[in-house]
Chains A and B, each alone.
Chain A
Amino acid sequence: MHEISLIKTILETVKKEMTVCGAKKLNSITLRVGTLTAVEPVALRFAFNSSIEKTDMQNAVLEIVESKLKGRCRDCGTGFNMTELDSLCPICGGGDVKRVSGTELDIISIDVD
């Protein structure tokens, strides 16, 4: 539901970066979206396409890199992909797991002319 306000924020940041670099045309934006965020990539794309329609950014493409949920066992230090939200450490079976990725909402880069 908040994808439109996220896109608005993203476009504000991108416009600022483009002004700083003196870029004229936006080709693409690459985002990192964690699987444990409340952001739906389909809705994000829809919001993006609606927001750039009939603007000077209208041909830009939104790339979304999904960041998988990964954990690190606090007992034995093993890093692993979590398949479920309550994944146990595959090496020692410990349940004290720190999530190391999967909650990101970042702008990675833009491609411009």
Chain B
Amino acid sequence: MHEINIEKKILMKNDEIASGTRLAFRKMGIFAINMVSSPGSGKTSIIEESVKKLGVKAGGIAVIEGDQETELDKKRIERCGVPAHQITTGRACHLDAEMICSALEWVMDQKNLKLLIIENVGNMVCPAEYDLGEEMMVVILSVAEGDDKPLKYPALFNAADVLIINKIDLTPQTNFDIERAKKNALKINPGLKIFTTSCTTGEGITEWCAFIAGLAAKGTEVKE
């Protein structure tokens, strides 16, 4: 019987692939974001509103959709006039670096791409651990959920760079307290940048779009 010291990250292979993808994106001048949330928080709607607002004038946007099944989200995005690629994960509950890496060829076929939006599988647990090669992770929380959600799913809120509180037009119909949600999220991750949006009224979408357009234009020097 003898012990062999390993000291390796469990997800080392995923992280290596993700680093390679990130480098490839950077070389192509692409700013990639990974959008995560529970199912039904409005990820696809935010992407639709964002590409509508950004797409026409900025151009160079593409979307990768991750779902367990169907191409429904890809079709929704394509209807907005933006190229979309669907990854169906089957039984897997999250996207991983290998799946994004195998979509690289499709990404390279898109001309003059500046912004790549990756919509992860709706899940607040597993995506926290998987680096996809993005520059920025965006977590979405809708007011139809609870304002204590950051405290219940700390790993995801800790991993994210940006929080979007969505469906704020519904706030009067719920007991969701936006300020309390922000406070809870900042407890977990004091560095979070927070936006509040409604895809129904359009509130906050301009601010969010200006933020990502600025990052995409600036290039990919945000994270080390």
Contacts and interface: CB of A to CB of B under 8 A. Distances in A.
Nearest to A97: B190
A13 B6 contact: yes
B1 A105 contact: no
A2 B129 contact: yes
Given A1-B93, A2-B94, A27-B1, A37 B6 contact: no
Interface string A39-62: 100000000000000000000000
A112 B2 contact: yes
The interface residues of chain B, by DSSP majority, are classed as: mixed
A86 B4 contact: no
A101 interface: no
B123 A111 contact: no
B5 interface: yes
B7 A107 contact: yes
B180 to A, nearest CB: 13
Interface stretch (B49-57, B153-161, B171-179): B153-161
A85 B92 CA distance: 29
Interface size class of B (residues with CB under 8 A): 20 to 34
A81 interface: no
Contacts of B10: 6, 9-10, 13, 31, 105-107
Nearest to A33: B10
Interface string B179-220: 000000001101000000000000000000000000000000
Interface of A: 1-2, 5-6, 9-10, 12-14, 17, 21, 23, 27, 31, 36-39, 85-86, 95-96, 99, 103-113
Interface of B: 1-14, 92-94, 96, 123, 125-126, 128-130, 151, 153-156, 158, 187-188, 190
22 contacts: A2-B92, A9-B11, A12-B13, A17-B4, A36-B155, A36-B158, A37-B129, A38-B126, A38-B128, A38-B129, A38-B155, A85-B187, A86-B187, A96-B190, A104-B9, A105-B129, A106-B7, A107-B10, A109-B4, A110-B4, A110-B6, A112-B4
